[in-house]
Structure 1
């Protein structure tokens, strides 16, 4: 009987050890790192989102300017030079709407802005940077985040976070360079020297397969040169059909686009080049 009790006790202990080990609670760092690895291998993308920005001044001549940018982008073969992409950008600035259509194929970046059709030879690395800027992407290395918190909702993990200072500087240069109507995303202007961060945080949704399905970033910055100027920005992006086949639609008249000088920097999508 004593021997049977010992056997039962050992069996129960082994079962409990296995159960507790199998139910180990994941940390936000572990979930984020797994998602980063998984997303880095994704070869196709179907992304939709919206970027809202409001610039306001509390000076004696108080004024404000709002800009909304909606985007839809599909891309295939994202990890190789065979990548193809089609993207629609709808921009609203000061009551005026603009529609920009952009494409990438065979080493060329194409843009149709108000009927002005131009193409520019662009290498694969530069095009990847252009896509990151246009969709508000952020370097997802775990080292760039702080104050990570996580909750489970249905089968998803919702991670809230803040960015470290260096990551903030990199991000503001990317986003402000993209949204500045007179500058290119590859501009040498250091926008981080011109602004200070009042707040910057975000949330990320990761599904059970370690795929990021949504990301939202809230940012408030003030001008260092004019302390009464403030910029509020919200970047809200969704990742659709992750890991599934994506169809990129290219127009039939790409050969009619006028060629502009080649560059290794990503051109601005806010103005025709």
Structure 2
């Protein structure tokens, strides 16, 4: 009996050692690396998001302006010239609500803004950049972050982060380029030279399948040219049905849209919404 107890104890100890050894705790860097690899293979998108922005001035005539923007976007064949996209965006600014719908198919970007329908010739590479900027996306490579922390919530990992200086500069150039309303006049501009980051941090949710399901970014920036101007932004995006079939809905009257000059790599949506 004593011998049997010893054998059972040794067996149990071996099982526990094997079990604990196999439960190596993942690091934030490992989770990010796996998510980056997985998301790079995704060819469709189904996302929704919200951007809140407050611009304030501390000059003698203090003033502030708030803007809320909500969007829904679906896209298919994102890695080929057969890509199709439909997007619905609502913008609230100065007490006024604006809405526009945008589409992409067959090398054209279509936009319906308050009944004004236009289309622009846009090559595939330019459209990819447009979508990245609109969605507030940035390179999720772990080397771009600092201060990584991670919590486990159910089956999900929630990673909190701050961006390194180079990643910040790349990101602000993306966002400011997206918001630039002067078209090609802004080409080549280093917007990071014009603004100062007071703070920038965020969280990213990664599910058990290494898919990024949500991102939230908080930033405060001020102008280097006008030190009294400050902008606070909160970007909150969610990604749905990752890796599954996505249905893009295009209107039947795209052939009635009036053609405008060909678009540059900056976002036509920002220009049209002026």
Shift of 1:188: 2.9
Does residue 243 of structure 2 align to residue 243 of structure 1? yes
Q: Which residue of structure 1 lines up, in the alignment, with residue 111 of structure 2?
A: 111
The alignment partner of 1:198 has SS state of strand
Shift of 1:266: 3.7
194-203 or 173-182, which deviates more: 173-182
Q: Which residue of structure 2 lines up, in the alignment, with residue 129 of structure 1?
A: 129
Q: Structure 2: where are the runs of 5+ without partners? A: none
**What's the CA shift string for 1:50-71, capped at 9, x where partnerless?**
0111110111010111111110
Go from structure 1 to structure 2 and tell me whether the alpha carbon gap of 1:42 and 1:186 turns closer, same or farther (over 3 Å shift).
Answer: farther
May I ask how many residue pairs the two structures share in their alignment? Answer: 273
Q: Structure 1: where are the runs of 5+ without partners? A: none
Shift of 1:11: 4.7
Shift of 1:269: 1.1
**What's the CA shift string for 1:78-137, capped at 9, x where partnerless?**
122211100011112222222121101111111112222222222222111101111111
Counterpart CA distance in 2 for 1:72 and 1:179 is 18
Superposition pairs of residues 30-69 of structure 1, within 5 angstroms: 30-69=30-69
Q: Which residue of structure 1 lines up, in the alignment, with residue 217 of structure 2?
A: 217
**What's the CA shift string for 1:177-218, capped at 9, x where partnerless?**
223445579743322111111100000111111111110000
Does residue 142 of structure 2 align to residue 142 of structure 1? yes
Go from structure 1 to structure 2 and tell me whether the alpha carbon gap of 1:137 and 1:91 turns closer, same or farther (over 3 Å shift).
Answer: same
Q: Which residue of structure 2 lines up, in the alignment, with residue 26 of structure 1?
A: 26
Shift of 1:48: 0.4
Counterpart CA distance in 2 for 1:182 and 1:55 is 20
Kept after mapping to 1: 8 A contact 2:177/2:266? no
Shift of 1:76: 0.9
161-170 or 239-248, which deviates more: 239-248
The alignment partner of 1:43 has SS state of coil
Query: CA RMSD, aligned part only?
Result: 2.3
**What's the CA shift string for 1:211-234, capped at 9, x where partnerless?**
111100000011111111111000
The alignment partner of 2:270 has SS state of coil
Go from structure 1 to structure 2 and tell me whether the alpha carbon gap of 1:180 and 1:265 turns closer, same or farther (over 3 Å shift).
Answer: closer
Shift of 1:268: 3.0
Shift of 1:170: 1.2
Kept after mapping to 1: 8 A contact 2:83/2:105? yes
Go from structure 1 to structure 2 and tell me whether the alpha carbon gap of 1:221 and 1:149 turns closer, same or farther (over 3 Å shift).
Answer: same
Superposition pairs of residues 1-273 of structure 1, within 5 angstroms: 11-12=11-12, 14-182=14-182, 187-263=187-263, 265-272=265-272
Kept after mapping to 2: 8 A contact 1:66/1:94? yes
**What's the CA shift string for 1:160-191, capped at 9, x where partnerless?**
00001011111112112223445579743322
**What's the CA shift string for 1:11-57, capped at 9, x where partnerless?**
55643442123211000001111111111111211100101111101
